[in-house]
Amino acid sequence: MRVMITGAHGLLGQKLALAFARETGDELLLTDIAPRTFFINKRFDYQQLDITQLSDVKSLVSAYRPDVIVNTAAMTDVDGCEEDKLAAWRLNVDGLKNLIIPARRIDNCRIVQLSSDYVFNGRTGPYDESSRPNPVSYYGKSKLASENAMLESPVGGIVVRTQVLYGAGYEVRQNFVAWVLAQLEKGAPFRVVDDQRGNPTLADDLAYGILKLVERGAGGVFHVSGPESIDRFSFAQKIAEIFGFDPGMISPTSSAEIGQAANRPPDSTFITLKFEAACNERLSDVTRGLERLRQQLRDGATHTDLLSDSRFF
Ligand SMILES: NC(=O)c1ccc[n+]([C@@H]2O[C@H](COP(=O)([O-])OP(=O)(O)OC[C@H]3O[C@@H](n4cnc5c(N)ncnc54)[C@H](OP(=O)(O)O)[C@@H]3O)[C@@H](O)[C@H]2O)c1
CATH number of the domain encompassing residue 127? 3.40.50.720
pLDDT tens sequence for the chain (313 residues): 999 999 999 999 999 999 999 999 999 999 999 999 988 888 889 999 999 999 999 999 999 999 999 999 999 999 999 999 999 999 999 999 999 999 999 999 999 999 999 999 999 999 999 999 999 999 999 999 999 999 999 999 999 999 999 999 988 999 999 999 999 999 999 999 999 999 999 999 999 999 999 999 999 999 999 999 999 999 999 999 999 999 999 999 999 898 888 889 999 999 999 999 999 999 999 999 999 999 988 877 666 666 665 544 3
Decide if 129 contacts 151 (C-beta within 8 A).
no
Q: What is the DSSP letter of 174?
A: P
- Establish if 232 belongs to a structural domain: no
- Establish if 251 belongs to a structural domain: no
Cα separation of 8 and 178, whole Å?
19
The Cβ-side half-sphere exposure at 51, using a 13 Å CA radius, reads 31
Choosing from 46, 127, 138, 139, the catalytic residue is 139
Predicted TM-score (pTM) of this structure: 0.96
- Establish if 249 belongs to a structural domain: no
Ligand 1 pocket, 163 CB below 6 A? Answer: yes
Q: Would residue 138 show up in a list of annotated catalytic residues for this protein? A: no
Could you tell me how far CA 189 lies from the centroid of its own chain? 29
- Establish if 256 belongs to a structural domain: no
Ligand 1 centroid to residue 10 C-alpha, Å = 5
- Establish if 242 belongs to a structural domain: no
- Establish if 265 belongs to a structural domain: no
Tell me what pLDDT residue 40 has: 83
Phi-psi region at 260: left, alpha or beta (left = phi > 0; alpha = psi -120 to 50): beta
- Establish if 245 belongs to a structural domain: no
Supply the range of the domain harboring residue 156. 2-174+199-227+270-291+300-307
Residue nearest to atom 30 of ligand 1 (CA): 50
Closest ligand 1 atom to the C-alpha of 52?
31
Tell me what pLDDT residue 298 has: 85
Cα separation of 281 and 222, whole Å?
13
Ligand 1 pocket, 87 CB below 6 A? Answer: no
Residue nearest to atom 18 of ligand 1 (CA): 10
Closest ligand 1 atom to the C-alpha of 51?
32
Cα separation of 186 and 117, whole Å?
31
What does the angle CA 61 – CA 46 – CA 100 come to, to the nearest 5 degrees? 25
Ligand 1 centroid to residue 7 C-alpha, Å = 6
What total number of domains does the chain contain?
1
- Establish if 102 belongs to a structural domain: yes
Ligand 1 centroid to residue 72 C-alpha, Å = 6
